[in-house]
A and B are shown apart, each in its own frame.
Chain A
Amino acid sequence: MSDGIPPILAGDAQWRRLDARMLLVHPVQEAVRFLPALLVVFVNGRSNGRSPWWDLGFLAAIVVVGMMRWFTTRYRIWGGQIELRQGLLNRRLLMTPADRVRTVDVTAPIWHRALGLAKVEIGTAGGGPREHRIVLDALAAPVAAELRGELLHRLTQARADQQPAPDGSVVQEDAEQVLVALDPTWIRYAPLTTSGLVSAAAIWGFSAQYVEQADDLQEKVEGAVDRVAALGVGLAVVAGLLAALLLVSLLAVSGYVLTYWGFRLTRHTGGTLHTRRGLLTARATSLEEKRIRGVEIGRPLGLRLAGAGRLSAVTTGLGHEGTQGGSAWLTPPAPGEVVTRTAVSVIGDEPAVVGPITRHGRAARRRRYTRASVPAVLVCAATVWGATRVDLPAFLVVAGCLPVVFAPMLAADRYAALGHAVTPAHFVVRSGSFSQRRDALSRDGIIGVTIRESFFQRRAGVVTLTATTAAGRQRYHAVDLPVEVSTPLAAELLPGPFADLCGADLHPGGAAAEVSQAGNAVAADL
Chain B
Amino acid sequence: MTVPALPRLREPANLVCPRARWLWLIGGIGQAVVLAGLQVGWWFIDRRDARGPHVVVAIVVGVLVLGYLIVMPIWRYRVHRWEVTATAVYTQTGWLTQERRIAPLSRVQTVDLTRGPIAQLLRLATVRVTTASAAGHLVIHGLDRDHAAVLVERLTAAAAAERGDAT
Give chain A's interface residues, CB within 8 Å of chain B. 125-127, 316, 321, 445, 447-455, 458, 461, 466, 468-471, 474-475, 483-484, 486-488, 490, 494, 496-502, 505-507, 510-511, 514, 517-518, 520-523, 525-526
Contact = CB atoms under 8 A, between A and B. Distances in A.
Given A454-B96, A468-B136, A501-B9, A316 B14 contact: no
Max chain A Cβ within 10 angstroms of own Cβ: one of B5, B9, B131 = B9
B133 interface: yes
Given A453-B98, A501-B10, A514-B10, A494 B88 contact: yes
Nearest to A464: B99
Contacts of A450: 99-102, 135-136
Interface in B123-159: 131-136, 138
12 contacts: A125-B167, A447-B131, A450-B101, A461-B4, A468-B135, A475-B135, A497-B90, A497-B103, A500-B87, A505-B7, A505-B9, A521-B11
A480 to B, nearest CB: 14
A475 B133 CA distance: 8
Contacts of B167: 125-127, 316, 445, 447, 470-471
A420 to B, nearest CB: 17
Given A125-B167, A494-B104, A501-B102, A514 B133 contact: no
A484 B4 contact: yes
Given A448-B103, A522-B15, A484 B97 contact: no
Contacts of A127: 132, 167
A496 B9 contact: no
Interface string B1-26: 10011111111011100000000000
A470 B137 CA distance: 11
Residue among B86, B88, B136 facing the most chain A CB atoms (10 A cut-off): B136
B128 to A, nearest CB: 14
A126 B165 CA distance: 7
A324 to B, nearest CB: 13
A81 B102 CA distance: 35
B166 interface: yes
Nearest to A449: B102
Given A448-B133, A468-B133, 15 more contacts: A126-B132, A447-B133, A447-B166, A448-B102, A448-B103, A448-B104, A448-B136, A452-B100, A453-B97, A484-B4, A487-B9, A496-B87, A518-B10, A518-B11, A523-B15
B85 interface: yes
B6 A517 contact: no
A514 B8 contact: yes
Interface of B, helix, strand, loop or mixed by DSSP? loop
Contacts of B83: 501
A483 B4 contact: yes
A133 to B, nearest CB: 16
Interface of B: 1, 4-11, 13-15, 78, 81, 83, 85-88, 90, 96-104, 106-107, 131-136, 138, 165-167
Contact of A520 (B9, B13, B131, B136): B13
Contacts of B104: 447-448, 494, 496-497
Contacts of A447: 103-104, 107, 131-133, 136, 166-167
Given A448-B101, A453-B98, A520-B13, A474 B136 contact: yes
Nearest to A484: B6
Contact of B132 (A458, A470, A475): A470
B98 to A, nearest CB: 5
A483 B133 contact: no
Contacts of B15: 522-523
A521 B4 contact: no
A510 B99 contact: no
Contact of B9 (A126, A445, A490): A490
Given A454-B97, A526-B1, A502 B78 contact: no
A511 B13 contact: no
Contacts of B103: 447-448, 468, 497
A448 B108 CA distance: 10
Contacts of B133: 447-448, 468-470, 474-475
Contacts of A126: 132, 165, 167
B86 A505 contact: no
Contacts of B81: 521
A487 B8 contact: yes
B71 to A, nearest CB: 13
Nearest to B107: A447
Contacts of B7: 484, 487-488, 502, 505-507, 510-511, 514
B99 A511 contact: no
B99 A452 contact: yes
- Which 3 A-B pairs rank lowest in CB-CB distance, beginning with the nearest? A497-B88, A468-B136, A484-B6
A422 to B, nearest CB: 16
